[in-house]
């Protein structure tokens, strides 16, 4: 049975479950699997690899269910023309994270797509609303990949209060099951965005080994910091850092970030080689604190189905009252 | 209706709300008020002598007929290292000079004693319904005596591993303390702050890993948070920061101003105030020396040299050296009587859950 909220109504989907745009991991295959299951898959446009984006959007152009395309905003600003490739695929929504959405907002809205902005503070939420965001994602520090420092339990009700009566708010960070969806709705969210849970899905474009590492990782075995970015010579703007599974490389460099920066050229070569060889003792598997809740690699449709069933049980299954709640 | 009554039934309280024991900023007054509001009041004993703890419990027993929780630290006590103390005083030297204080004058040592036989005798004598520990559990012999005195034993876990350890070693209830929480991180099997999960990712994982009931702690300060914690499998919640601004707390006037002005980005995890990582409202010494400093002496000795600075600054209405512990929900604290707040929190949670269930 669908769980209807203001979010599902706005997006035209059955369940308030969004698959995060994990850079080049949420490819068209995972996007379609999640959207087929009644959620919203969001393509991981990431830093903006033109060839990859063209190939993936070519597939999505022929897809008729709602889907989204996501970008890292500050990186997109370096090749703004990529937004046109995205919009040609006629996504239901474009999701912008990490940076000022203003330069892209008018173009996205003019193309008839909804603008989803991921935020980590009230100031960012204000900036997003000022440029016409239709949906806000409130992201807690528990999230895998890039994010900031406030926890999900703090940021979700804060942004829900901030955006009350204006736009629906989606919770992100540390959520991987139906209890999490139910809890986030209790906090005032209209749905959830999950990355790590969908990383360990059959359809995610990631090495099998990385998916297995997520399933094997226990709670607490992730770390947020700058080591993985600096090892790739990626200088992210403040306040963003990245959370990944703890590994040898992180243990080696955590606390020695200055030296890492000084030796960036040498380390970057080592890191790139490890990444190419899928050596995850060095290369990052970006994952959130929910890893301890994830034990199996299953089709995305099964993930969506489980979460909906479990959330309904937790919410006692009486969905009719949910739609009135937003 | 509460979806999980395991702890209400065991505590015999009206609501599954535990007042967090906040050493240094509260005493019997706040315990009594929360108990009158239907929650479980907790008396922090870590900074009290056994005699003082007995006196406080007697006050509580006289004023309210309700279960009470006594809270103790069970860190491993280490003697102050004179070399590190001297180095720390040197690090803080400029602040001493700024405040016209003599850095070489003798100071009273920080007083945070671990649970011992004297405290155990107090427990046996006063028979609190609940005893909670921070930083693990006391040695098995003492723990047995606490249990034999009839107390339900709780302790905090900051990781799933710690939760399992606590259950295996005799805790009747596990408190899942997320990184959002104010005050000292309860961590006792790890010292890696970077790996401390937030409340809402830690909680369901602890619920899955242990059979005993789980209390959610950290960042919960309103009805929505309580309802959400129950959705994730909690049987109760522990709330501290939300009560700091209640008239019954012992937070100083300057502290109250700082709390009122705090935003959600005001808190940090620091080790400079006591030597162990704890979350609080960022103050001058945390910013300038920390938030994490390798120079800070072992717990609790870092607090010793800060003592005179704290007193001197507070006289000028400043909290530059005051450990104002608070969690990430700091902006949600309310200036209202604690009994009323307890009832309001429970009411809002029940309304939220009822509304969601239709």
A195, A150, A198, A197: which is closest to A172 by C-alpha?
Answer: A195
- Write the CA distances from A14 to A6, A305, B195, integer angstroms: 11, 11, 36
Higher confidence at residue A219 or residue B146? B146
Higher confidence at residue A35 or residue B103? A35
Q: Tell me, what's the pLDDT at A324?
A: 40
A210 close to A278: Cβ distance less than 8 angstroms: yes
User: Does residue A319 register a pLDDT over 50?
Assistant: no
Helices (H), chain B: 6-11, 28-36, 50-63, 82-91, 93-98, 117-126, 140-148, 160-168, 199-209, 223-231, 253-261, 284-289, 302-315, 338-357
Q: Do A218 and B161 touch (CB under 8 A)?
A: yes
d(CA B78, CA B347): 45
* pLDDT per position as a tens digit, A109-153: 999 999 999 999 999 999 999 999 999 999 999 999 999 999 999
Q: Do A188 and B233 touch (CB under 8 A)?
A: no
Residues 217-256 of A with CB under 8 A from B: 218-225, 246, 254
Task: Report ipTM for this prediction.
Answer: 0.72
Where do we find the tokens 């040609």? A88
Q: Is A203 on the interface with B (CB under 8 A)?
A: no
The structure's pTM equals: 0.84
* pLDDT per position as a tens digit, B158-208: 999 999 999 999 999 999 999 999 999 999 999 888 889 999 999 999 999
| Whole-number percent of chain A with pLDDT over 90 | 92
Q: Nearest CA to CA, how far is B103 from chain A (Å)?
A: 31
What is the number of other CB atoms lying within 10 angstroms of the CB of residue A64?
8
Q: Tell me, what's the pLDDT at B80?
A: 87
Q: Do A142 and B198 touch (CB under 8 A)?
A: yes
Q: Is B191 on the interface with A (CB under 8 A)?
A: no
d(CA A215, CA A23): 20
Q: Nearest CA to CA, how far is A142 from chain B (Å)?
A: 6
B174 close to B182: Cβ distance less than 8 angstroms: no
Q: Which residues of chain B have a pLDDT value below 50?
A: none
Q: Is A316 on the interface with B (CB under 8 A)?
A: yes
Residues in A touching B293 (Cβ below 8 Å) = none
Write the DSSP string, A140-181: -TTSSEEE-SS-HHHHHHHHHHHTTTTS-EEEESS--SHHHH
Q: Could you tell me the two tokens for B175?
A: 């408190």
Q: Tell me, what's the pLDDT at B358?
A: 55
Average pLDDT value for residue range A227-240: 93
User: Taking the alpha carbons of A21, A22, A27, A29 in that order, is the dihedral positive or negative?
Assistant: negative
Cβ contacts of residue B139 below 8 Å, gap of 6+?
A: none
Please report which confidence band the pLDDT of residue A321 belongs to, taking 50, 70 and 90 as the band edges.
very low
Q: Tell me the helices (H) and strands (E) count for chain A, helix number first.
A: 17, 11
Run of H or E including A82: helix A82-88
């Amino acid at each position: 049975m669908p769980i209807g909220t203001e979010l599902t109504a706005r997006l035209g989907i059955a369940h308030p479950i969004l698959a995060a745009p994990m850079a080049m991991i949420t490819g068209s295959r995972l996007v379609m699997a999640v959207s087929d299951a009644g959620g919203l898959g969001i393509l991981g446009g990431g830093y903006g690899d033109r060839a990859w984006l063209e190939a993936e959007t070519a597939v999505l152009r022929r897809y008729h269910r709602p889907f989204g395309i996501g970008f890292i905003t500050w990186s997109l600003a370096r090749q703004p023309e990529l937004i046109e490739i995205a919009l040609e695929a006629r996504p239901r929504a474009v999701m912008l994270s990490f940076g000022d959405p203003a330069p892209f907002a008018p173009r996205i809205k003019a193309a008839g797509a909804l603008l989803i902005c991921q935020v980590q503070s009230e100031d960012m939420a204000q900036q997003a609303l000022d440029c016409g965001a239709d949906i806000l994602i409130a992201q807690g520090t528990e999230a895998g990949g890039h994010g900031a420092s406030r926890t999900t339990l703090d940021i979700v009700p804060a942004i829900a209060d901030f955006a009350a009566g204006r736009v629906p708010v989606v919770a992100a960070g540390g959520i991987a099951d139906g209890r999490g969806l139910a809890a986030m709705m209790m906090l005032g969210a209209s749905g959830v965005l999950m990355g790590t849970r969908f990383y360990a899905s059959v359809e995610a474009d990631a090495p099998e080994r990385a998916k297995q590492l997520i399933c094997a990782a226990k709670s607490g075995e992730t770390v947020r910091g700058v080591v993985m970015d600096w090892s790739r010579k990626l200088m992210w703007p403040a306040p963003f850092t990245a959370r990944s599974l703890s590994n040898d490389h992180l243990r080696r460099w955590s606390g020695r970030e200055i030296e890492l920066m000084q030796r960036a050229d040498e380390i970057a070569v080592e890191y790139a080689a490890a990444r190419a060889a899928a050596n995850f003792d060095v290369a990052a598997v970006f994952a959130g604190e929910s890893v301890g809740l994830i034990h199996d690699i299953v089709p995305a449709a099964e993930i969506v189905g489980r979460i909906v069933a479990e959330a309904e049980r937790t919410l006692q299954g009486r969905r009719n009252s949910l739609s009135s709640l937003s | 209706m509460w979806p999980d009554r395991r702890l209400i039934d065991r505590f015999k309280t009206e609501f599954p709300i535990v007042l967090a024991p906040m050493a240094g900023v509260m005493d019997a007054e706040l315990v009594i008020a929360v108990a009158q509001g239907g929650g479980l009041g907790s008396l922090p004993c870590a900074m009290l002598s056994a005699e003082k703890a007995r006196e406080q419990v007697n006050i509580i027993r006289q004023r309210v007929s309700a279960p009470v929780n006594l809270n103790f630290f069970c860190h491993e006590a280490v003697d102050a290292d004179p070399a590190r103390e001297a180095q720390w005083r040197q690090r803080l030297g400029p602040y001493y000079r700024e405040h016209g204080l003599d850095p070489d004058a003798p100071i009273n040592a920080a007083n945070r004693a671990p649970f011992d036989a004297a405290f155990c005798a107090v427990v046996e004598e006063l028979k609190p319904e609940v005893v909670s520990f921070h930083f693990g559990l006391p040695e098995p012999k003492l723990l047995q005596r606490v249990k034999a005195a009839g107390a339900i034993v709780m302790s905090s876990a900051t990781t799933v591993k710690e939760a399992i350890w606590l259950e295996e070693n005799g805790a009747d209830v596990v408190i899942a303390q997320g990184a959002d929480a104010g005050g000292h991180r309860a961590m006792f099997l790890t010292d890696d702050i970077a790996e401390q999960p937030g409340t809402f990712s830690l909680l369901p994982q602890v619920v899955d890993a242990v059979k005993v009931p789980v209390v959610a702690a950290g960042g919960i300060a309103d009805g929505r948070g309580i309802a959400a914690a129950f959705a994730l499998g909690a049987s109760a919640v522990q709330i501290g920061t939300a009560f700091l601004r209640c008239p019954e707390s012992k937070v100083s006037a300057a502290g109250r101003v700082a709390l009122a002005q705090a935003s959600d980005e005001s808190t940090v995890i620091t080790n400079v105030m006591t030597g162990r990582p704890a979350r609080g409202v960022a103050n001058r010494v945390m910013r300038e020396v920390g938030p994490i400093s390798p120079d800070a002496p072992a717990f609790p000795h870092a607090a010793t040299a800060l003592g005179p600075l704290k007193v001197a600054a507070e006289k000028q209405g400043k909290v530059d050296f005051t450990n104002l512990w608070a969690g990430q929900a700091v902006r949600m604290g309310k200036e209202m009587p604690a009994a009323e707040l307890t009832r309001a929190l429970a009411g809002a949670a029940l309304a939220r859950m009822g509304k969601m269930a239709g």
